[in-house]
Each structure stands twice: as structure tokens, then as C-alpha cells.
Structure 1
Amino acid sequence: MRITKIDLYRAAMPMKTPFKVAIGTTTISQSIFARIHTDAGHIGVGEGNIFTPVVGETADSVWAIGPAAARALVGTDPLDIEARARQMRKLFPHNTTLRSALEIALWDILGKAANLPLFAVLGGRRRPVVTDNTVGLESPAVMAERALAFKARGFVAIKVKLGTDLATDLERMRLIREAVGPGFALRVDANQGWDRTTARAALRALAAYGPELVEQPVVRADIDGLAELRRGSTVPLMADESLFDEHDALRLVAAGACDYFNIKLAKAAGIWTALKINAIGEAAHIPCMVGCMTDAGIAISAAVHLASARENIVFADLDGADMLAVDPVAGGFGYGAGGELLPATGPGLGVELDAAYLGGLPHQAVE
């Protein structure tokens, strides 16, 4: 089997409401969609969702370099995903979002060629994945109101964005805990917003509100700081922006820097590296989360299949498609009761892109 053509589409998807975190605000979600054609008639679809403050790519940069990446793949074997992933890492080492779109499409082709859903291709079973939903940065009162609304919708866990000044962050957490009540799962994400001193004080004070974990309290490069904070914290710590690939995972393990890993396909450049990160985590007794940016349904579906297939992935933050005013993707999964997600049982990802929607997008074709 050979790749004969790759279509790239540039999508700008409005959010229901602006989504603000410590390192940036998203009002329009930017994705690149890929459709990879083969001489066997199989077409794989993929998506990479671009959040510049984390990955460093922009929609313009991904759109500019996309045809070069596509040209490198045309004529190659789409089923040899290891070779394609290594090829893309060598040629485009810092373009993880673009690579994730192309690689996800290759996994979709593999599933369709095998006539198996992706979770089965990965050697797993179809098990439910329970996602939290996220309250972005707003005033404490607004955040508490939104947390309560997520609880009313049936979600059983909420991610709370913090990472600004300590007094306001603590007030946010106090009001949210009062709103949702004791025992409700709250996960804090500072998105690198604190320095070591502030993070140390925050972890001590936040413990009173019983968070399950605190994610990325300090800047991504400060592995030593993360390890120091972990040694003094009663609250478990999760690495996110400090973790892109298996090499980062090894560094975090060696430093004793975190209790959990957050794997995102846009950071890991797809499933191939995500599997490596999870394996290192499992060997080091570090459970994993699979997270997202503000992804539409293709990337979320790929993440749901991955999480379903790996039991060491015990947390999910896959609410991106729920934040979009309109998701142009059908199938793959659905937001069920309690935030439960189940992967599709059709071949590959089990998703379809709306043809009329694609017809209105900027398009590049490489043959």
C-alpha cells in the first residue's frame, strides 16, 4: 500500500465562550485537518489542534510547512507507522501539532485496512473513559458558577484553571469548593503560572480544598523546581508542558519530579510517542492522563481510543470538542452521562468530517 495524495484543510472554529488559561486565551480554535489517500482506496483522517503558547507552532506556520511534510509522505507505506513517525520527527522535530495530524490519519488507515477499531489495533479493549470538564480563568464568582453548571450536567470531575496571583487563585478555589461541595473531584492546573515561591505557598494552601492533583505549577523547563515542590507537597503533582516525548518522560522520572503524566497528542506528535510516554510512566508507577487542547472530534476520538486501550491511563481531560460552538466531526465518541466517553467500534477512528464544512475551508493538496 502507498500514499497517493494528502489533503490539508485549515479550520478556525469559534468557541462557545473564550477559554482563558495562565499562558493565553483562545476565542477561535485553530486546527489542521488531514485526509491521506492510498492506492488501496483507504482514506485516513487526522487533526492537529494548535495552541501556540504550549507547542510554539502557529496556524500560519503549520499551514506553511504542511505541504513539505505531505510531500515527504506521498509514495511511502502508510502502514509502517514507526518508519513514518521517525521520518517526520527527523525532518520536522519542532512541529508536533502538524505531525500529530498526519500520524493520526495513518492510524486511521491502519484500522480501516485491518477492519478493526483503533483501540483494538492498539491491543486494547473497549472500556469507558471518563473526562473532566474545565473551568477557565475568570472572576472567582463566575468560575464557581461554571463549576456548578458542569456538576449539574453530570460531570464527576472538574479541572480548575489557576496560575495568577495567589490571593485570587485561592479565592477561586474556595468558592468552587463551596459550590460543588465536599468530595467532588477537583483538579487544579496552573499552566506554568507560578514561580517556585508562589507555587510552594499555593500547594500548602490548596491542600485545604482537597484537590486530586495540581498540574504544571512552574515553567516547563524547571524540572528541578517541580521535583523540589513534589518533595514538600501533600498534593500530587502532574507534569504537562514539561512533557512532550519519551525523553522528557525519562528526565521527569529520573528527577522524581511528578506523580502523574499528562499526555497530549498535539505535544507528543501523535500516538506513536504517546505510547512510549505511557510505557515509561507505567514502568515508573506513574499513572497517566490523556488531555487535549481545544480539539475537535478527530483528535479527541484518537485520544479516546488510546485511553481506552491502555489501563495505565487513569485520567482524561478530553473536553475540547465540548468547548466548540460547532464540531464539524461526526462519530468517534460522544459525551455521555458523568463525562463518560466510549470509542467508536467501526474501523479506524470511526469518524467522518462534514464534507460541506470542508468545502468552505482553505485547502492544499499534495500528490
Structure 2
Amino acid sequence: MYEYVGNLHIHSVYSDGTGTVAEIAKKAQRAGLDFVVITDHENMRGFKKGEEGYYNKVLVLIGMEINDTCCHYLALNIKEEIENNTLNPQQVIDQVNEQGGIGIIAHPFEKGSPFYARGIAFPWNQWQVKGFQGIEIWNFCSGWKDNLESRLKAIFLLFWPRFCITGPDKEALKKLDFLQGQGEKVAAFGGSDAHNIRFRLGFIPVMVGSYLKTFRSVNMHILLKEKLTGDYKKDKVKIYEALRQGRSWVADDYRRNSRGFSFNLKYEDRTWTMGDEVEYREGMWIEVFTPHKSRVRLIHNGQRVAVSQGRKHVFKSIEKGVYRIEADYMILGCYRPWIYSNSIFLV
């Protein structure tokens, strides 16, 4: 498998971001990314203007974020814009599916803060829907807003936003586990929700959601069976197929890059990885490798069943069900959330 790293859920000058497509690509290259997915609100102007493609070594893909007051939905791998429909988001999901797209419920449990944008939040509030492909379990911008719990903390996080990284949304993880437990192959996604907003606090210039900083934080790592070739159209298919199948993990790469992580199911000489659905056989085991020392939790059907520390982790006594991995790294004597894998399904 070949690993590539990208950032999802990005806003440009075509909605409420401040960077052009080319500027975003340049920041992504500085951050060491292989691809980005721009999802401007309610439009795909960049796609229509032919701005999707390679910028040096970074592949820029363009989707959109649908809906305004609630039920925000990321639509990837579509060609035509889809109108808002907050009253009936099922129609939005169906339209994305009709185009063969990938649909992701964005920041589903966002709470907001009275100290930012008058407390406005954009949660998902209609869970009777079906047919979506993913849930955004970790959103940098939403995590930042939700942590502005006091005036003093809000000022602190304006200048040191990295301290808002407290891990994925716990409710989103619970929802993911619940849906997968019901037999739904819904994938976990993470995104920056980067806007690169500039303003002044008195005489002090401030930036919220810097492209460069967020591109080094909550990222998507994907596994491909073949290398990217530099052919924009062929590589686009490969990246979207990996995201659709859940051959990926979400990680905060700022202090510990998660390149090289692996989470595999083993049986005799056979190996399966994230996104795979496998027929259960007695004697199977799980192997996990983390590129730095970490504390790893094995999650089975939404429950923690084992913990391991170090870099190589082996788990035996495997049963039928859904398995995923959570990993934390240690800094200054404290564990920090790091890697959240997609699942392996044993049936």
C-alpha cells in the first residue's frame, strides 16, 4: 500500500475563505500535503473555472459544502452544484449519490460559543437520513469555536489556537460507532474547515483558521494500491475511491506526524486493512504500528477492549464485529489525541 496525506473541508475566496485556489495549493505544499479538497459554501466556481488539478506536487480537488443554517453536507466528486435544502437534507444526500459523489455530514455536533460570531453553530439535526458515506468526527475550526468557553480563554485561543486540539468530537464518535454497529459502512473523516480569516484585535493582527497551521493539524491519510502518477484525472479517481472505502485514518500531525501508521488484521499469511470487510476465522489477530511511542486503544463495537503502549501493538482473541484504533502520544507528561483509524469489519 502507498500512503498519501491530504486535508479536507477548505474554504477559498469563492465563499468565506481568503485564499485563492493557487494560494491554498502553495500552503498545502509547504505543509507537506499530497492533496487537498476545497469545499466552498454553495458553489463550485473553482471547478467550473478549471482550477481543479495539480499545482506542482499538490493535487487540488474541488467539491462543495451544501446547506446554510444547519445540516452542512460536504459533497466530493460531483460535477454539478446542488442547491441547499435544510428542511429536507435527504434530498441533498440523494442528489449527491445520483452524481456518484461522496457525502459527508460535517461538524454534526458543533456547539459554538457566545464569544465568536454571536454563538452561531451549524449542527446536524436530522438523523433519520440514509445513504451518506461519512461523518466528520474531527473538525479543527469547530473544535476551536467549541472551546471558547470564557472571554479569557477566547483571547488565549485567538493567539494559540493549537491548544483547542482536544481530540475528535465524542458525540460524533458515538454516532459513528452506533451506525457501524447497525451494519452501515460509514467512514470517519477529519477536516480543517480552514478559512484563513484575518482581522484586528485593537492594534494586533489576528488570523483564525490559518491555512498553513491547520494543514499541519487534522489531516486525512489514505492508502492506495497503486502510486499516484501525476495524471490528474486518474489520481482523482484513486484518492476518492480510498476515501469512499474508508482506507484511511484521521490524525493530528502537528507535533507527531502519523505517516507510517498501520492497522492490519492478520490470518496465516493474509492481511487486511482499514475499510475491509472480512469473513471471521478463528485465530485471527490485529497488528498496529505507530511511528512514535503511543498509547493505543482497541475499540470493538464502540467499546474499548484492550490498551497497549509502545510502537508495535498486537491484539489477539479477536471476535466478530467492528474494530478501529485510537492512539495518543505523550508530550510534557500528558497524553494528547493523535490517530483515529477507520474500521475493519469482521462478519
Q: Answer yes or no: same fold by TM over 0.5.
A: no
Q: TM-score scaled by structure 2?
A: 0.38
The structure with more helix, counted as a fraction of residues:
1
